[in-house]
Structure 1
């Protein structure tokens, strides 16, 4: 589940960053924001704006849109920390260099919204995919990589996929994008539902002597052998660490 307090604090930090880059003064900043929004037809109290700046509340939809238009940033970045920060072109396309989770090195991508769901929900997602238009997720976020219509996002918990040394790491709080329709091969990072629980787990799919296992990146955690009751729920196609 999304930690609402963390989300509000992170939003405040990004808002201050955008205001700094826009040259808005630090002292009396709330008053300046109030005046500018009012000039755009968005009327908010200085108390409400102070809560945004102090990490106590998120801006409402109309205010968020006005802030992004004024400061020249994408709403997905300001609200959720999804890169890139700057506004994209009118066709909503930008250039993105992908990591080894993709089979392409650089492509032009369109943004698509996916639901940020719970780990319990992820365990059954691929067996009973609901109508995404009506799905009541904590939030919908932009996926900056190609993903199927049934893709979703998860917020990493714990440190089993945190690399203590060099190499790719997925620390707690990292957002991962899961495609339940992508073929998972040996070496891929996947979401799986174990036979002993309905909750999903995030591991690397590996094979040894004809047997398949789920391996954590952190060597302090055990390797799990895949049984007939283990269900691979999706492949990780992208990730980002919110600011």
Structure 2
């Protein structure tokens, strides 16, 4: 019989085993705490007042946290995470803290999160783990992503969102614009407003959906990558799309900006 191995961590008096790769994934958070609080609140579509009510604090407290005037302690971060369902930003500094109580709480959180999401057995129906948060960006930002991703400021994103997929260290989300990829009744259809989950660090294969920066416009476009008579094309899947716009040959100077690994409606208002 297959047995799932529980994770643990060796921190002070807490004995465990958890590989450095998993620790990095769990405490990595590409945003400041103030931005994480706002992202967690938006994850529930809550106002500052609603978040305050849920965690026993005032609207002013939440506003001060989101403005960076004050910073909540670890216990409050974990409470916000529990109420919103948005994974807490456990930073390496907390893991290495000299404060034994903070270290213990951070360690327990890491282990609990690891054990609740890491199920690799083929005999078990695994819960879908979440990854991120990742920035929701514009088509212009997506076109320049390889140049700006390393210095991308947390406030430059429209929102920060989680994904059921590992989009890599520079993953992002992009909102569908226009109806070139809208094909109701077909196998694939992407309505305007849907969110694309994009992984920029993998090479595209024919048949996949991709984000490409066109040399002529400098903005990113979302299309299906196909080889037609041996030539690479970006194809709009809308069956009613004008033929002259439906098949766009990939040209010198066009830049791959990522492979779309999933699409979702996102949270409705």
* TM-score above 0.5: yes
- Describe the SS at the equivalent of 1:233: strand
- Is 1:75 aligned to 2:86, yes or no? yes
Query: Are the structure 2 counterparts of residues 172 and 119 from structure 1 closer, same or farther at C-alpha, using a change threshold of 3 Å?
Result: same
The answer for the alignment partner of 1:157 in structure 2 is 177
Greater helix proportion: 2
Task: State how far apart, in whole Å, the 1-side matches of 2:181 and 2:189 are.
Answer: 6
- Describe the SS at the equivalent of 2:149: coil
Task: State how far apart, in whole Å, the 2-side matches of 1:130 and 1:34 are.
Answer: 31
- Describe the SS at the equivalent of 1:130: helix
Counterpart mapping for 1:152-191 below 5 A: 152-191=172-211
The answer for the alignment partner of 2:112 in structure 1 is 90
Query: Are the structure 2 counterparts of residues 139 and 232 from structure 1 closer, same or farther at C-alpha, using a change threshold of 3 Å?
Result: same
- Is 1:208 aligned to 2:228, yes or no? yes
The answer for the alignment partner of 2:264 in structure 1 is 240
Task: State how far apart, in whole Å, the 1-side matches of 2:155 and 2:59 are.
Answer: 30
* Unaligned runs of at least 5 residues, structure 2: 1-40, 61-65, 88-110, 120-124
Normalised TM-score (structure 2)? 0.56
The answer for the alignment partner of 2:255 in structure 1 is 231
1:218 is displaced (CA, Å) by 0.7
- Describe the SS at the equivalent of 1:90: helix
Task: State how far apart, in whole Å, the 2-side matches of 1:155 and 1:64 are.
Answer: 29
Task: State how far apart, in whole Å, the 2-side matches of 1:193 and 1:219 are.
Answer: 23
Task: State how far apart, in whole Å, the 2-side matches of 1:148 and 1:34 are.
Answer: 30
Q: Could you tell me whether the CA contact under 8 Å between 2:52 and 2:59 is conserved in 1?
A: no
Aligned CA RMSD, in angstroms, stands at 4.0
Query: Are the structure 2 counterparts of residues 106 and 215 from structure 1 closer, same or farther at C-alpha, using a change threshold of 3 Å?
Result: farther
1:111 is displaced (CA, Å) by 1.9
Q: Could you tell me whether the CA contact under 8 Å between 2:130 and 2:162 is conserved in 1?
A: no
Query: Are the structure 2 counterparts of residues 207 and 65 from structure 1 closer, same or farther at C-alpha, using a change threshold of 3 Å?
Result: same
Q: Could you tell me whether the CA contact under 8 Å between 2:128 and 2:164 is conserved in 1?
A: no
Task: State how far apart, in whole Å, the 1-side matches of 2:52 and 2:227 are.
Answer: 61
Task: State how far apart, in whole Å, the 1-side matches of 2:133 and 2:238 are.
Answer: 30
Q: Could you tell me whether the CA contact under 8 Å between 1:161 and 1:170 is conserved in 2?
A: yes
Query: Are the structure 2 counterparts of residues 206 and 137 from structure 1 closer, same or farther at C-alpha, using a change threshold of 3 Å?
Result: same
* Unaligned runs of at least 5 residues, structure 1: 1-6, 16-29, 46-59, 77-88, 97-104
- Describe the SS at the equivalent of 1:91: helix
The answer for the alignment partner of 1:117 in structure 2 is 137
